[in-house]
Chain A
Amino acid sequence: MEAFKIVLLVFLILCAISASLIKNPLLSVIVFMSYSLIMSIIWFLLESPDLAITEAAVGAGVSSILFFVTLRKLKALQEGGQHEQDKR
């Protein structure tokens, strides 16, 4: 169990570094989502099921959805902006 936890922790750190270094925002949000899921597993191993549930629902679920919607919105704004420029 201890070894499993350490593997997860290492993975967590790798996820964090890559989430902050990846250039593409969408990819880095996805990496961040997996970070949250790993975090929730670790919390389950640390005997805190309340936190695991909350993190899975809030951190990995709703936060990620908000990130995705934001990226989509930005994309739409970008296209809209180009559209306007084309009109001119």
Chain B
Amino acid sequence: MSRIRDNYEDSLWNRLTKWVNGESDPFAGKMEMEPLREADYVGDSVYNPERLDKKKVLKYLEDTEKNQEIRAFRVLYNLSSVALCLLLIAVLLMAVSYLPVLGDPNGPNNNEVSARYVEKGMEESGAVNMVTNMILSYRGFDTFGETCVLFIAATCVIILLRKSEEEIENAKETDWKYEPKPDAILQKITLILVPVIFLYGFYIILNGHLSPGGGFSGGATVGAGLILYVTTFGFHKTQRFFNEKTYDMVKVGALSLYSVTMIYYFYTGANLIENHIPLGTPGDILSSGMILPINIFVGLEVACTMYAFFALFRRGGM
């Protein structure tokens, strides 16, 4: 009594078996799917996402360059950007107009925190400059993080721009811009200026706890001196005393000494252990405990990094 179903081909079971056996493609023609083609499996491994839409997309891209509507859209875009700017400013002005009055000695931020920094800062950490004192000892963790920001930015720039030695050699022939032309006046003036700049930079670094400045500004100054030297005399001369190895050594040395200092400071401070760092007499050059060495480490790191930025941008290597 078995009846042969005439629509067997379309039955669910048949389709299921076909699918399980891999004879049909359930997705063909649906959603993202194109029917599977032999060509997709053989040989060509070029990434080719939208075979069918290619022409459409290309046409669309052509259009964006000279379409009237898009131009109108861009005008609208500029207008809306100005509107956004004004709106943001208005909101912020609203907030500012309710903020405490500037310069008021009784304002909310002139509280016990800043009072202690000013009153006890000198005896607690031995530095005369309260700002350096605050960022390096009271809020030392922030500053450590900040040095790491500089370090990681340098790493990223190296990733992006460092070329291998061969590439630099190859580029030399075409790119005459890497090496400056010898210019007597410039070189003489540089020879006079660079020592002065270095001296000033080191002065800022070493006097960070006594006068305005510190590791960051002094380091940037020294870095600027190095940059001046290299723009005048070229990389060949500079490489004699400062190359990639030196850079790595100075950076790693300074940063690891800095982190060792910080670990010691954190550990002793948090566990209430006496840290035996001599504070010296406030006002002397050899005073203020760990602030002076940290300023030196930071200064070295910043100077090298600034120079490294320049060299990598200019040439792709040091």
Please give the residue numbers on chain A whose beta carbons come within 8 Å of chain B beta carbons, in ascending order.
48-50, 52-54, 56-58, 61-62, 65-66, 69-70, 72-73, 76, 80, 83
Contacts and interface: CB of A to CB of B under 8 A. Distances in A.
A69 B309 CA distance: 10
Contacts of A66: 309-310, 313
B127 interface: no
A50 B220 contact: no
Dominant secondary structure of chain A at its interface with chain B:
helix
B126 interface: no
B193 to A, nearest CB: 14
B224 A61 contact: yes
A62 B220 contact: yes
Interface stretch (B17-25, B32-40, B136-144, B210-218): B210-218
Q: Which 8 A-B pairs have the closest CB atoms?
A: A49-B212, A57-B220, A54-B217, A69-B313, A53-B217, A50-B212, A58-B220, A50-B131
Contacts of B132: 50
A69 B224 contact: no
A75 B214 CA distance: 36
Contacts of A83: 174
Interface residues of B, number: 23
Given A66-B313, A69-B314, A50 B214 contact: yes
B221 interface: yes
Nearest to A61: B224
Contacts of B220: 54, 57-58, 61-62
Nearest to B129: A50
B177 A57 contact: no
Contacts of A61: 220-221, 224
Most A CB within 10 A of own CB, among B212, B309, B310: B212
B227 interface: yes
Contact of A65 (B129, B131, B224): B224
A54 B217 CA distance: 5
